[in-house]
């Protein structure tokens, strides 16, 4: 295999990983916004799906080249909503 072809394949793989990461990041943000809205309305919500997506994102980050995302707890959502209600 030529060096050029190997580099092209490597870059192509990185581009796919980054694209998938960015899509998951956007979906994660949507899920967080949905949880925040439910919390603001005093309706029940969960963070399970947010954290599943977060784990998928962090799994893509095997080489540490992409930003890590923290898992989200119900308390984190509630604290955020409460700090923006009273602030």
pLDDT, tens only, 11-22: 556 788 899 999
For 13, the domain range is 3-85
Helix axes 3-40, 74-85, angle to 10 degrees: 60
Predicted TM-score (pTM) of this structure? 0.79
Annotate 46-56 with b (16+ C-beta within 10 A) or e (fewer). Answer: ebeebbebbee
pLDDT for res 16 = 87
Where is mean pLDDT largest: 3-12, 31-40, 61-70?
A: 31-40
Domains in the chain, number: 1
């Amino acid at each position: 295999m030529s060096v050029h072809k190997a580099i092209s394949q490597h870059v192509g793989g990185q581009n796919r990983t980054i694209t998938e990461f960015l899509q998951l990041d956007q979906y994660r943000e949507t899920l967080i916004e949905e949880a925040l809205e439910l919390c603001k309305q005093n309706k029940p919500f969960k963070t399970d799906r947010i954290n599943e997506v977060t784990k998928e994102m962090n799994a893509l980050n095997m080489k540490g080249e992409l930003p890590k995302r923290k898992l989200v707890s119900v308390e984190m959502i509630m604290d955020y909503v409460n700090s923006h209600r009273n602030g």
